[in-house]
Amino acid sequence: MKKPTTITNKTWAQLRVGDSASIERVCADRDLFLFAHVSGNTNPLMLPGVEGEKPAEAPIAPSMWVGSLVSAVLGNILPGPGTLYLEQNLQFFKRVHVGDRLKVSVTCKEKRDEPVVVFDTSIVNGGGEPVCQGLAIVNAPTRNIETPVRELPALIMEEKEQFPHLIALAAQLPRLKTVVVCPEDHNSLGGPLLAYDKGLIEPIFIGDLERISAAAHALDADISAFRVIDEKNHRAAAGRAVAMVRAGEAGAVMKGDLHSDDLLAAVVAKDGLRTGRRISHVFVLDTLTLDDLLLVSDAAINIAPDLLTKVDIVQNAIDLALACGMEPKVGVLSAVEVINPAIASTLDAAILSKMAERGQIRGGAVDGPLAMDNAIDMDAARTKGIVSLVAGHANVLIAPNLESGNLLAKELTFVSHAEAAGLVVGASAPVILTSRADNENARLVSCALAQLYAYWRKNGRPFTGAAPAKNLAAE
């Protein structure tokens, strides 16, 4: 049924005793959080538990939130716009929990001297049981008002944990043996230890033994059960880690407290983890406003990629998206959505799009050039007259160069409050390349990405939940 675009009222003169109106509303977690913000009431009985923890009891909706639903009927429907409260009393009979469907009704009981009107108010649950009853006394409007239905500004709520689906999925796989290079501070050691606790990896630590031990002491962590290889030189530590992966002793490499160049030099060396494809970095972002994950590449390795490098960047990003169970829709970004020979990135984007059509890039839909707005937003795409499988729906964004990609990923992280993880792909094994400033959660999710990507490389399909029998250590 088409939603009304305007709302109208009934004046005091038009109201008749017996007139009634109602709405239905389902109580959601979001309602409880928003009410807590507005009211300041953070009673733990009335807030959902921390994600991943099973609450002792389902949260109870605050009674005043339940009662406040009456105002939506009075203010929007009957009498409608222009109504002002004078008095409201409420009596509560049953508790409301998340998921309960409520029917909120008002009925005109009495008309007093203009403009005063008395309404019976009632709220019943999905089983027809009374939840709340009361009496409302209002000043009804004295003139007819017709007003457009107002779209309220969107509210973004931050969650404490991101990527829960990826972590839960990866935890079903056997632990991935991972060489952690120079975990010599609390973040670079705490991340892999958290990933171990979550069942994602089996870490092998290589670096300065004294500094690793000091980091463990600072975390109050016992690392005696793990293999620790003493190597004080960062470049040498990275080389030994890559050699262990090549020898089948581990299935992935993870960056610790060392410079990215030191690790990547070992990865791309002739005796490193080279394949026939250029390596690239993919940021995977869990945003607050998009339903799907968002991948951004390349923002960390290839500074000014030429066309052939971009082919590999696109293919690498598609592969990781597939490993995460996504249907890749790749938007190749530029400043504009039309081909302009003066803007080289528009030419590259158009060629990449045609290469995907011809099967030279596989596994996802690719379109470009696209500006950021019409890559992500359907209304922007329609306004510009762009019709494609990707425009307005892109979940993989390919930046023209490292600078723009890095700016985009960092803006989404620090301004738009997206949670970010990342992985280097295109090598013969996953390379978990996080910033030294990344927190433990970013490293945890990056380990989950490595797990899923390793499985996809071995099996040619995403992991969907049925844990395989074989260990991934030798991948």
Over residues 326-379, the pLDDT tens digits come to: 999 999 999 999 999 999 999 999 999 999 999 999 999 999 999 999 999 988
Residue 468 has pLDDT above 50, yes or no: no
Confidence of residue 472 (pLDDT cuts 50, 70, 90): very low
What is the reported pLDDT for 9?
96
Query: In sequence order, what are the residues at sequence separation of 6 or more whose Cβ sits closer than 8 angstroms to the Cβ of residue 144?
Result: 8, 9, 11
Mean pLDDT of 403-428: 92
* Of the candidates 77, 67, 70, 45, the residue with the CA atom closest to the CA atom of residue 58: 45
Residue 157 confidence class, pLDDT cut points 50, 70, 90: low
219 burial (CB, 10 Å; 0-12 / 13-18 / 19+) is middle
pLDDT tens figures, 71-86: 999 999 999 999 999 9
Is the preceding peptide bond at 4 cis, omega within 30 degrees of 0? no
The more confident residue out of 418 and 397 is 397
pLDDT at 4: 76
pTM of the entire predicted model = 0.72
Name, in order, each residue with C-beta under 8 angstroms of 293's C-beta and a sequence gap of 6 or more. Answer: 284, 285, 286, 321, 324, 326, 395
- Measured between alpha carbons, how far is 193 from 187 in angstroms, rounded to an integer? 10
| pLDDT above 60: residue 1 | no
Q: How many CB atoms lie within 10 A of CB 248?
A: 11
The pLDDT assigned to 143 comes to 96
Q: What is the DSSP letter of 97?
A: B
CA dist 83 and 92 (Å) reads 24
Has residue 284 got a pLDDT over 80? yes
Residue 140 has pLDDT above 90, yes or no: yes
For the stretch 298-335, pLDDT in tens is 999 999 999 999 999 999 999 999 999 999 999 999 99
Low-confidence winner among 136-140, 158-162, 228-232, 416-420 (lowest mean pLDDT): 158-162
Tokens standing for residue 106:
């008002």
pLDDT of residue 366: 97
Q: Is the pLDDT of residue 55 over 60?
A: no
Residues 35-52, mean pLDDT to the nearest whole number: 82
Position 467 scores a pLDDT of: 46
What average pLDDT does this structure show over 182-197?
92
Could you give the percent of the chain with pLDDT greater than 90? Answer: 79
Whole-number pLDDT of residue 417: 81
pLDDT at 275: 92
Give 296's pLDDT tier (boundaries 50, 70, 90): very high
398-416 average pLDDT score: 93
pLDDT of 52 reads 42
Q: Is 417 exposed, middle or buried, given 0-12, 13-18 or 19+ CB atoms closer than 10 A?
A: middle
pLDDT higher than threshold 80 for residue 104: yes
* pLDDT of res. 415: 86
Q: Which domains does the chain have, with CATH numbers?
A: 10-148 (3.10.129.10), 164-459 (3.40.718.10)
Going by pLDDT thresholds of 50, 70 and 90, the confidence category of residue 294 is very high
* Mean per-residue pLDDT, 273-283: 94
Q: Are 410 and 402 in contact (CB under 8 A)?
A: no
Identify the helix (H) or strand (E) that includes residue 168: helix 164-170
pLDDT of residue 122: 97
Q: Average of pLDDT values for 461-467?
A: 80
Q: Is the pLDDT of residue 53 over 70?
A: no
Closest CA to 329 of 382, 252, 393, 401: 393
pLDDT of residue 57: 67
Q: Does the pLDDT value for residue 474 go beyond 70?
A: no
> How sure is the predictor about 165, in pLDDT bands with cuts at 50, 70 and 90?
confident
Q: What is the mean pLDDT of residues 210-239?
A: 94
Average pLDDT, rounded, for the chain: 91
